[in-house]
Amino acid sequence: MRLLSHTFRCVKPPISNPPLSKSSSSSSKDPTLIVKSEPKPKLKQWCVYLIISSNSPIKTYVGVTLDFDRRLKQHNGEIKGGAKATRAGRPWICACTIHGFKDQSQACEFESKWKKVSRKISYEKKEEDVGKLLDDQTLRLLKHRERALGKVKCLFDCSQFEFDWKLDPF
């Protein structure tokens, strides 16, 4: 008889579990029997993030993800994926992460509002900014995004959110 796993490589042979012996039952009082439980995997939470480019022209990007570390690698071109908008300006660095969203819908709504408010509030790029140091431009952009975030906070119950600024806009 030929096993399916030999014919169809994607089908794995069944794993046979050895029958439990009486000595390993829960009523046994054998002190040498140690049952180890596997650690529970850490539940991933939806995260809204702000990243900033470290090359000129300095830009910011707001996004949402379940795995920020993986997503940042995508934006930086280390692994496949990432938004087209982040191809220029690499490498990107984390400016802020926000955790505590109950689901993807809430995280996406927050991200959308942050982007929308950022576009609406005034941010005038002065002519003198062109000759300034990158640090000054970075600071202005971070302050702009932080002001927009302050307005978005008024639209949500943010009591369960954790705001983690990696780059302080002040």
One pLDDT digit (tens) per residue for the chain, 170 residues? 555 445 445 455 555 555 555 544 444 455 555 556 666 566 789 999 999 998 888 899 999 999 999 999 999 999 998 888 888 889 999 999 999 999 999 999 999 999 999 999 876 555 454 444 457 888 899 999 999 999 999 999 999 999 999 987 65
Which residue type sits at 170? F
**What is the three-class DSSP state of 65?**
strand
Whose CA is closest to 33, among 42, 19, 23?
23
Please give the Cα distance from 167 to 50 (Å, whole number).
10
Burial classification of residue 62, based on how many CB atoms lie within 10 Å of its CB (0-12 exposed, 13-18 middle, 19 or more buried)? buried
Burial classification of residue 144, based on how many CB atoms lie within 10 Å of its CB (0-12 exposed, 13-18 middle, 19 or more buried)? middle
